[in-house]
Amino acid sequence: MKKKNILIIFSVVSVFVVLATVVGLFLYNSESKNIDILKVSDGQIVSLLNKNSDAKDYMQNHSDFKIDKKEILTKNSIMAGQNGPNFREVYQDLELKENRYMRVDLMNSTGDSGLVVVLDFKTKQAIKAYGIILLKATSGQNGQIPIPTENK
């Protein structure tokens, strides 16, 4: 009878140790796959951008692109963007979470075409991508824009 109790206790402890090890390994692996948004490199950003078809097309069509700006979004910056005068759609439908999203602006070397992308570091995807075309107005002498007149 005593041997049977010792065998049952040993079996229960063994199962507990195995379960604890499995849970510990699972938690360790899931944590090691998370990207620290504060330390993300340009290479990691490009890797995430390649998962989005719009961003991938932009990068292929503008091989001279550069990362012009990176901004880690906070609750306040998301709310400000949703209520701001420009690019509201970039911030729409984002959860108000700290250090989950990053806004990345790409620009080609001539500065006339860009892409605004929102990266979600929880899902590890580029969830929004909006193209930008910049138009430059040329001015005449003394900074004035010539206005054509009609002769009668």
Q: For residue range 59-108, what is the model confidence (pLDDT) as tens digits?
A: 999 999 999 999 999 999 999 999 988 888 889 999 999 989 999 999 99
Answer CATH for 37-133 from 3.90.1070, 3.10.450, 2.60.120, 3.40.50: 3.10.450
Neighbours of 138 (CB within 10 A): 6
Q: What angle, 0 to 180 degrees and rounded to 10, lies between the N-to-C axes of helices 53-61 and 42-49?
A: 110
* Predicted TM-score (pTM) of this structure: 0.65
Domain boundaries, the chain: 1-33, 37-133
Convert the pLDDT of each residue in 7-41 to its tens digit: 788 776 676 666 666 666 665 544 435 567 888 89
Specify the 3-state DSSP secondary structure of 105: strand
Q: What's at 107, amino acid-wise?
A: M
